[in-house]
Structure 1
Amino acid sequence: MYPSKEALTFGIFVKNQVNALREQGLEVDIVAVQNPNMGKANVLKKYGKWALQTAGNLLTKGRSYDAVHAHYVFPTGMLALLYKKLFKCRMIITAHGGDIDKMAKKSPRIRKWTAKILREADHVIAVGNELYEEIHESFHVPKEKLSIINMGVNREVFKPTDQAAAREKLDLSQNEHIFLFVGNLIKQKGLMDLVQAYEKLPKDNKRLILMGATKDVRFREELEAYIKDHNVGNVDILEPRAQQEVALWMSAADAFVLPSHIEGFGLVALEAMSCHTPVVGTNVGGLRYLLNEDSGILVEPQNVSSLFEGMNKVLTDVSSREQLISNGEKRAQENDQQTLIRKVINVYSPLGG
């Protein structure tokens, strides 16, 4: 995944890491899928193009690389393996969650390939604690070749803006309680739970903003039908925005809500924390660790009542809100992209060469 002019946020976390590596003086070439569209024809076309681009790069430049870094274990790791086998370059794999939680479970053959790629890698990066443990326990990857390094938050982009000023720039009401979600518009993100929890909040002066790409047209239609049939007021569904604008929306919101059913790390929650926006998220995957110790409000997944209570707490408990902002800032500092990029570089060249 990598962004394009047509899909600004598709794989933006990979582009951010590439930019950070280049700022540290590394030379980085990219071979990636830039088309987020699904459907059999689109998938065949984009993966076929990707395979051809990789073959061209392998033949013309493969010998020149010190390391090849694959994001997602399968199928990306299969292509990375070619560089390692042919040119003996160091092979790094970053597992993001869906490749282990979903892709590896699609068939015995894919699981077998996933295991082979993880076994052949020189080092495996997991973006969260739970993912790290699953890779170690389920795929028997030794801990000495495993690291937990999330993608990190770009604090030059995701920085706090005065809420009133942010709302004025975005032409939002100063009097509404605004809840924001940013991510793909799919069922697994818990968006139906979110709409139903929002529906339970007091009716006056509230707004829910869902911002993201429509990955599942049928689910979006189902979501919009529920909103219309139940007369759920002030719900806006917006297309993806550039990161600088997303940061402004985060600063404008009273709370950021990530009600995912599964989540590898939850970088977007960290980005909201970096904007000093309290986060309500489900007790799954990386969010379980990211939001613990009062850095956010953890709620039960697929539980509308629990989600409602978490959202309501942000609005009604002023002291808790202040603590969330303070602890969220500390968490953002700990996960600053500039700090984590040094860890990635050390994985590329563990002997400092």
Structure 2
Amino acid sequence: MYPSRKNPTYGIFVRNQVEALKKKGLNIDTAVNSDNRGGKVNLLKKYGLWFLKTISKLPAGRTYDVVHAHYIFPSGLPALFFKKLFGTKLIVTSHGGDLDQMAKKNKWIRKMTRYILKEADHVIVVGEALKEEVIQGFGIAESNVSVINMGVNRNVFAPKPKEETKQELNLSADVRHILFVGNLIEAKGLRELLDAFQSLNEREENLQLHIVGSKKSESFLQELKSSIQPNQKDCIHFHGPKDQATVGKWMAAADLFVLPSHIEGFGLVALEAMSAHTPVVASDVGGLSYLLKDGAGELVQPKDARALEEGMEKVLNDSSLRNARIEKGEQLAQENDEEVMLERIINIYKK
């Protein structure tokens, strides 16, 4: 996954890491897919083109010290060519979907996932739950697995005066703004979010919901919009994708960030919101269960609109709880600063 002008947020976390590593003096070639369209024809076309891009790097293969594949399968498969042909060290990063979804599609893909993991010189996972899956589910030695998330850029996702930032984004200061950032897909829990928000707003009557992200399916987007009650249409806004600098402003301006995912490898956007001093309500799944534990955020039952509504109401209306969440979030943002994560990756490359 990699961003393009048409899809500016698609795999942006990968590009951010690549560009940050280049700034530290690493010489990096990329073979990437910047097409986020679904459908069998598009999938065959985009993965075919991406595979050819990867193979086109083989002539330079002898010069590479490391090949780093993001996502185990299919990315790790052509990356293995370099290891087999030239003895290049292979590192794979699991972001979650490759284990939670891809490896469960059929027995052959699971077999290939296991093979790639076994062949890799080191495995990076973005969350603790994924580490457990790699070790216990695929038999990889714990010494060969590191938990390194993509890190948060604290220059982009920084706290800003909320009232001034709201004014800059033309947001009303008289209402409280709830923010979601992510792809508009079912697995992000958007159905539950719209149900929970509308129910809560019937009682609160001073809330606005902002949904920022790329649509993957026009029909799903229309389904979401059709579920909005007539009296709520002015309170729910779909903004489409935004560049990172703008997303950083939205994070800082929001009164609450919500991530009701059904599955989540790590939940970097939740960390970005915490870095901007905005409290988070999220599903108790995957990496979010680890990220938001011990009072860092409000964890709620996944796929449960009522539980999500209660979590949102609790954080919105309890000022002492909000302050505690913000304080803990700042601590986590410092621990997961992008610079810290980059040094850990470079150390693995060197090793």
**Which TM bucket (shorter chain)?**
over 0.9
Q: Does 1:41 align with 2:41?
A: yes
Output one character per residue of 1:208-246: Cα deviation in whole Å (capped at 9) or x when no partner: 011111113222221111114685551001111000000
Partner of 1:174: 173
Q: Does 1:156 align with 2:162?
A: no
Partner of 2:71: 72
Partner of 1:55: 55
Stretch of structure 1 that moved more, 22-31 or 257-266: 22-31
Letter in 2 for 1:131: L
CA pair 203-320 structure 1, distance change in 2 beyond 3 A:
closer
Paired residues of 1:199 and 1:232 also in contact (CA < 8 A): no
Q: Does 1:28 align with 2:41?
A: no
SS at match of 1:4: coil
List gaps (5 residues or longer) in structure 1.
Answer: none
Q: Does 1:187 align with 2:177?
A: no
- Alignment map for 1:125-274 (pairs within 5 Å): 125-201=124-200, 202-228=203-229, 231=232, 233-274=234-275
CA pair 286-26 structure 1, distance change in 2 beyond 3 A:
same
Partner of 1:10: 10
Alignment root-mean-square deviation, CA: 1.1
Distance 1:221 1:141 in 2: 43
Letter in 2 for 1:292: K
Output one character per residue of 1:107-162: Cα deviation in whole Å (capped at 9) or x when no partner: 11101100000000000001000010011101001101001000100111111111
Q: Does 1:112 align with 2:72?
A: no
Distance 1:216 1:96 in 2: 22
Partner of 1:320: 321
Partner of 1:96: 95
Partner of 1:341: 342
SS at match of 2:56: helix
Paired residues of 2:315 and 2:321 also in contact (CA < 8 A): yes
Following TM superposition, by how much is the alpha carbon of 1:334 offset from its aligned partner in structure 2, in angstroms? 0.5
SS at match of 1:298: strand
For normalisation by structure 1, the TM-score amounts to 0.97
Partner of 2:303: 302
Distance 1:84 1:191 in 2: 41
Letter in 2 for 1:221: Q
Distance 2:330 2:296 in 1: 8
Following TM superposition, by how much is the alpha carbon of 1:253 offset from its aligned partner in structure 2, in angstroms? 0.6
Paired residues of 1:159 and 1:274 also in contact (CA < 8 A): yes
SS at match of 2:91: strand
SS at match of 1:341: helix
Paired residues of 1:273 and 1:332 also in contact (CA < 8 A): yes
Stretch of structure 1 that moved more, 162-171 or 211-220: 211-220
Following TM superposition, by how much is the alpha carbon of 1:315 offset from its aligned partner in structure 2, in angstroms? 1.5
Output one character per residue of 1:158-197: Cα deviation in whole Å (capped at 9) or x when no partner: 1111111111111110011110000010111111111111
Distance 2:229 2:62 in 1: 57
SS at match of 1:112: helix
Distance 1:196 1:313 in 2: 17
Paired residues of 1:259 and 1:307 also in contact (CA < 8 A): yes
Distance 1:225 1:246 in 2: 26
Distance 1:23 1:335 in 2: 19
Paired residues of 1:38 and 1:215 also in contact (CA < 8 A): yes
Stretch of structure 1 that moved more, 5-14 or 213-222: 213-222
Distance 2:42 2:100 in 1: 24
Following TM superposition, by how much is the alpha carbon of 1:22 offset from its aligned partner in structure 2, in angstroms? 1.2
Paired residues of 1:177 and 1:207 also in contact (CA < 8 A): yes
Paired residues of 1:180 and 1:253 also in contact (CA < 8 A): yes
Paired residues of 2:157 and 2:252 also in contact (CA < 8 A): no
Across the two proteins, how many residue pairs are aligned to each other?
349
Letter in 1 for 2:285: V
